[in-house]
Chains A and B, each alone.
Chain A
Amino acid sequence: EPEVTQTPSHQVTQMGQEVILRCVPISNHLYFYWYRQILGQKVEFLVSFYNNEISEKSEIFDDQFSVERPDGSNFTLKIRSTKLEDSAMYFCASSEAAFNEKLFFGSGTQLSVL
């Protein structure tokens, strides 16, 4: 089965540094998502992306966050100036269609902000 690939699997950074989390969605998928899960808490929706623009975002996704599809295959999440509370597991997902179609998830990037 095709899969969503996320790199790196673990990222450690200093507070205030910029990080870029990378994802390669499934090739024929058109909708892309980022979720995160802070340890012990719910998996939270961050943002969805379609047709090279953000289609929906949560209140978590503030000006410190941005997403990009730089080259037609990668889908990145950038955090400009990381805070301690950004430490979480970040999941990328993609789907063929919108409206509750099956989401395929990557295995996640564990971000630790020190």
Chain B
Amino acid sequence: AQSVTQPDIHITVSEGASLELRCNYSYGATPYLFWYVQSPGQGLQLLLKYFSGDTLVQGIKGFEAEFKRSQSSFNLRKPSVHWSDAAEYFCAVGARGGSYIPTFGRGTSLIVHP
């Protein structure tokens, strides 16, 4: 079965600084990969997804993520963080050919200082 590890429970950055949120997955083949964001009082919203092709994926709100097979990682990045990016970020992995149901990590809480 697939699994996801988000090693950072909290990340604090200053507004305007760059951001990288880590995600490592465990799966025997190339997985489907997702990043979701949950703002306070909102549901989880899909930021971006990787199915195949270019390993650098662009998403909404200026986010991007890079699939690195050799490191089993799918880290989320943003060059300049805005205060409105403060939220909970979830990485998820889906299996090809088996259960398609995404498996989520526990989330990383992003705190943005002015």
Please tell me if the beta carbons of A107 and B101 are within 8 angstroms of each other in the complex. Answer: no
Determine whether the beta carbon of A108 is less than 8 Å from that of B102: no
Cβ of B41 and Cβ of A103 under 8 Å apart? no
A103 touches B102 (CB 8 A): yes
Our pick among B41, B44, B101, B107 for the contact of A48 (Cβ within 8 Å) is B101
A60-101 near B? 1/0 per residue, CB < 8 Å: 000000000000000000000000000000010100001110
Interface assignment of A28: CB less than 8 Å from any CB of chain B:
no
Count the B residues whose beta carbon is within 8 Å of the partner chain — how many?
A: 25
B46 touches A102 (CB 8 A): yes
- Verify A4–B43 contact, CB threshold 8 A: yes
CB contact between A42 and one of B38, B45, B104 (< 8 Å): that residue: B104
Whether, in the assembled complex, B22 has its beta carbon less than 8 Å from a beta carbon of chain A, the answer is no
Q: State A21–B49 Cα separation when bound (angstroms).
A: 29
Nearest B residue to A55 via CB reads B101
Would you give 18 A-B contacts (Cβ < 8 Å), ordered by A?
Answer: A33-B101, A40-B106, A41-B106, A42-B104, A42-B107, A43-B104, A45-B104, A56-B99, A91-B43, A93-B43, A93-B44, A100-B32, A103-B102, A104-B43, A105-B36, A105-B38, A105-B45, A107-B42
